[in-house]
Amino acid sequence: MFAHTNPLHMDVFQSVVRFEAEVVAMTAAMLGSKKKSSGGQICGNMTSGGTESILLAVKSSRDYMKTTKGIKKPEMIIPESAHSAYDKAAQYFNIKLWRVPVNKEFQADVKAIRRYINRNTILIVGSAPGFPHGIVDPIEELGQLASSFDICLHVDLCLGGFVLPFANKLGYPIPPFDFSVKGVTSISADVHKYGLAPKGTSVVLYRNHDLRKHQFVAVTEWSGGLYVSPTIAGSRPGGLIAGAWASMISLGEEGYLENTKKIMEVSKRLQKGIEEIPELFVIGRPDMTVVALGSNVVDIFEVNDIMSSKGWHLNALQRPNR
């Protein structure tokens, strides 16, 4: 029904514009907009995926810090477990990138990150959870650090955005991760992962409008008239936005709670099974549905090859090999 629609033309495709607004509002409500500590101004846009959400958050943080603090040689600091999209953002937006080793628990090392902060720092990053290990970074401590230095903090919830809020409600011990944490300025959450929306749908959120306005590009002098674009893409597929809206509406909180219960239970069973195999070990203490395993006895990549031949599809990771 919506394959022909394009939210760039807001006056023509009003229903798709409303769908996007409602997806953003529902996602924001999941991630702290209803809590007093959030400030009540949380806003954002839909994007094509986690990479674009991260790119936009980095770009907006860069321009916000240039406007508010006059930073012209921007730098950002990320844990080595953070997604490769930050490397892409650093290249695209001419930002110096510091990648800091994680601690023994495979979390962002707050003390190490603090040592890299200087007058050109615009942004630090935490993941909830990180893709490689499924471990939530200490977002509260990172928030305190960002607040004390008056810099931005982006939380990558691309993987966990549609699981952690519900795992929390189910009683799992999830550390704070959303806008309820002071210092968090932006969040990315993928609807096309555990939100079960069509591929190509993510949300980027900001604590307030002052931050988000730096995401937009407005061209007033073009002979084609006024051109305003909120994301990297100009034209965007309205069908995907409608699909994301339909997924969230049809599943609802009850559906996501049920799904989260199932996948959390399965991941705990997997973790228990791995721990019962003497030659294998689990990396760190997984907080969610991602479980990384390694071995000091066998070649873990050979294990992966054999699992692949049996129909399993696992991600081969490195540093350490797992």
**pLDDT above 70 as % of the chain:** 98
pLDDT at position 312: 94
Q: What is the pLDDT of residue 116?
A: 98
The pLDDT value given to residue 26: 97
| Segment 255-283 mean pLDDT | 96
Identify the pLDDT of residue 37: 63
Q: Which residues of 169-191 are buried (b: 16+ CB within 10 A; e: fewer)?
A: eeebebbbbbbbbbbbbbbbbbb
Superfamily name and number for 252-309: Aspartate Aminotransferase, domain 1 (3.90.1150.10)
| For residues 289-297, average pLDDT | 93
Does residue 19 carry a pLDDT above 80?
A: yes
Residue 57 identity (one-letter amino acid): A
Rounded distance between C-alpha atoms, residue 141 and residue 110, angstroms: 7
**Residues 158 and 210: beta-carbon distance below 8 Å:** no
> What is the SS3 assignment for the chain?
CCCCCCCCCCCCCHHHHHHHHHHHHHHHHHCCCCCHHHCCCCEEEEECCHHHHHHHHHHHHHHHHHHHHCCCCCEEEEECCCCCHHHHHHHHCCCEEEEECCCCCCCCCHHHHHHHCCCCEEEEEEECCCCCCCCCCCHHHHHHHHHHHCCEEEEECCCCCCCHHHHHHCCCCCCCCCCCCCCCCEEEEECCCCCCCCCCCEEEEECCHHHHHHHCEEECCCCCCCEEECCCCCCCCHHHHHHHHHHHHHHHHHHHHHHHHHHHHHHHHHHHHHHCCCCCEECCCCCCCCCCEECCCCCHHHHHHHHHHCCCCCCCCCCCCC
Task: Locate 98 and state its tokens.
Answer: 């510091």
- pLDDT-based confidence at 36, cuts 50/70/90? low
Res. 52 pLDDT band, cuts 50 70 90 = very high
- Strands of 152-156's sheet, edge to edge? 43-47, 202-206, 186-190, 152-156, 121-127, 75-79, 96-100
The token pair at 299 is: 């070649």
Predicted confidence (pLDDT) at residue 40 exceeds the cutoff of 80: no
Q: Are 107 and 137 in contact (CB under 8 A)?
A: yes
Pairing between strand 186-190 and 152-156? parallel
Q: Is the pLDDT of residue 224 over 70?
A: yes
Q: Please state, in angstroms and rounded to a whole number, the distance separating the CA atoms of residues 4 and 273.
A: 48
pLDDT of residue 34: 74
- Mean of per-residue pLDDT scores for the chain: 95
| Dist. CA 194–CA 42, nearest whole Å | 22
Residue 38 has pLDDT above 90, yes or no: no
| CATH class for the domain made up of 14-247 | alpha beta
Q: Are 240 and 201 in contact (CB under 8 A)?
A: yes
51 touches 85 (CB < 8 A)? yes
pLDDT of 322? 59
**CA distance linking residue 243 with residue 256, whole number of Å:** 16
> CA 99 to CA 17: how far, in whole Å?
38
pLDDT at 319: 75
Domains of the chain, by residue range, sit at 14-247, 252-309
Considering only residues 289 and 318, tell me which one the structure prediction assigns the higher pLDDT: 289
Whether residue 154 contacts residue 123, with contact meaning beta carbons closer than 8 Å, is answered with yes
Q: Each residue of 120-137: pLDDT tens digit? A: 999 999 999 999 999 999
How far from 54 is each of 11, 58, 96, 106, 125, CA to CA, in Å? 28, 6, 16, 21, 10
> pLDDT-derived band of residue 201, with 50, 70 and 90 as boundaries?
very high
Length of the chain: 322
